[in-house]
Homo-oligomer: A and B are copies of this chain.
Amino acid sequence: MRPEQDAPQRVLDSIRRDIILGRLPPGARVTEVALASRYGVSRIPVREALRALEAEGFVDSRPYAGSTVAAIPLDDAEDLFGVRRVIEATIARRAALRAAAHVAGDAPDTSWWTARRALTDILDDGDRAVASDALGDLPELNIRFHLGVAELSGSASLSALLRQISGKIEWLYAADVDHRGKQSWGEHRLVMAAIDAGNAGEAERLMEDHVASSQRGYLERFAAGPVPGPGAGPAAGITGTDAAGRG
């Protein structure tokens, strides 16, 4: 079996996705051999992925006792949105500043153009999804847009922080996708325009409003009875050799 060259990354993304989408419910035991056989690799890449997930707060581990899926951070929802607002607004401001520097001709950076082009594609894909009422594609595109802007900001530190927070918030939304759907998506072009114009203040303000609006949508939905969610009971995990998340 040839080395997949980034099997750990693939395994990491897959497990995290299974957790976020509720295919691995909170409390479920995740054993290394089960995951290894599920993804067709040995335990080593799985171990690395599990350790990363532990650092990200998606699983709890105890020495020799294995790992379980962590509890969904329901109590942190409001604060997570608050932190995310600040981070995203900062990112938008810096992205605008960097865009301005680029049109001015300074900083001849090819990676910047790559990131900018990727955003164009994401925006177009999202518009098509909205036009064809394929709203199921929007959550994924939404994440990619925001991470794309982070890329454009040029700050690895802020990108990493946003990535961590986004995962948690995505988890909160859980399988409850399309939180505001069309309207929310439309706001992305406004943010992008401000960035392209190099208008740092406007980009910062628009992004903050956008995130705040997303937060309101979440709170309205879950204020009363928070998240019926898939996390029914601390069991039903994968334990056998081929049972992972086939629900």
Note all chain B residues with C-beta closer than 8 A to A86.
82-83, 86
**Bound CA–CA A82/B39 (angstroms):** 41
Within 8 A of B (CB), among A4-45: 5-6, 8, 44
Asked whether A56 and B57 contact (CB < 8 A) given A48-B48, A155-B73, A157-B168, the answer is: no
Which of A159-167, A190-198, A223-231 interfaces with chain B?
Answer: A159-167
Q: Is A146 close to B, CB under 8 A?
A: no
Interface size class, chain A: 35 or more
Within 8 A of B (CB), among A66-81: 70, 73, 75-76, 79-80
Note all chain B residues with C-beta closer than 8 A to A156.
57, 70, 73, 76
Contact, CB under 8 Å: A160 / B90:
no
Shortest beta-carbon distance from A86 to chain B in Å: 5
Note all chain B residues with C-beta closer than 8 A to A155.
73, 75-76, 79
Q: Is A94 close to B, CB under 8 A?
A: yes
Tell me what chain A mostly uses at the interface: helix, strand, loop, or mixed. helix
Contact, CB under 8 Å: A160 / B73:
no
Contact, CB under 8 Å: A51 / B160:
no
Asked whether A83 and B79 contact (CB < 8 A) given A156-B73, A165-B161, the answer is: no
Note all chain B residues with C-beta closer than 8 A to A73.
155-157
Contact partner of A160 (CB less than 8 A), chosen from B5, B44, B55, is B55
Contact, CB under 8 Å: A90 / B83:
yes
Note all chain B residues with C-beta closer than 8 A to A82.
86, 90
Binding site for B on A (CB under 8 A): 5-6, 8, 44, 47-48, 51-52, 55-57, 63-64, 70, 73, 75-76, 79-80, 82-83, 86-87, 90, 94, 154-158, 160-161, 164-165, 168
- What would 5 A/B residue contacts be, using CB atoms closer than 8 Å? A8-B51, A57-B156, A73-B157, A83-B158, A161-B164
